[in-house]
Amino acid sequence: MNRNSTAVILVILSIGIYFTFTSGQLAQARAIKAVNDEYSKAIDNAIALIRVRDNLLAQYKEVSEIDRINLDKMIPSTVDNIRLVIDLKDIAAKHGFALKNIKATAPVTQQGTVPSAPRIVNTSQIGASDITAPVLDTVTVSFTVTAPYLEFISFLQDLESNLRIMDITRLSLKTQDTGVYEFGVELKTYWLRQ
């Protein structure tokens, strides 16, 4: 009986130790393992992000300086209304006429400021880092020009072949008996908000 009672006492004692001490330690170990797994995923994602960054940097370095300048002219990273107006005036001057009533406006929010780029936050993949996503935004330019029809068409063809992307959104025409017309033009051009 002594042998049996010792075995029963040891079994009861082990069950008691399990429920009072061991189960709490196992729960803590599971919680620590879950946090560790999240950190391991974050590290793996950071390593993958570093590889992507390095790959993109290598591709960027392969682009020639002239191509980078042309890309920046095509879709600039800043709103430079003055440079845009100067470029338009230069194209018009090449055809022998001047632009009038030039207005360049960027879109505004309800508070009256240029909208900011949205923030993308995905902590499950990249930890607590947040990344600004570039946004393609527009600038609207309107102007009038007095020119003969064929010269104006030539001007539009030069705008079309210009490196900077421009979409004509509105075109108006006032006729005159002299063969010189007054054209009203509204166009949109784009810039990449970083």
Among 96-100, 119-123, 154-158, which is the least confidently predicted range?
119-123
- What is the pLDDT at residue 130? 52
Residue 188 contacts residue 138 (beta carbons within 8 Å): yes
* Average confidence (pLDDT) over 38-42: 93
Quote the mean pLDDT of the chain: 82
Please say if the pLDDT value at position 117 is more than 50: no
- What is the pLDDT at residue 107? 66
* Range 75-193 has CATH code 3.30.70.60: yes
Domains of the chain, residue spans: 1-62, 75-193
Phi-psi region of 19 (alpha: psi -120 to 50; beta: other; left: phi over 0): alpha
- CA 163 to chain CA mean position, Å: 21
Q: How far apart are CA 79 and CA 126, in angstroms?
A: 31
pLDDT tens digit sequence for 50-78: 999 999 999 888 888 888 888 888 877 77
Please say if the pLDDT value at position 167 is more than 70: yes
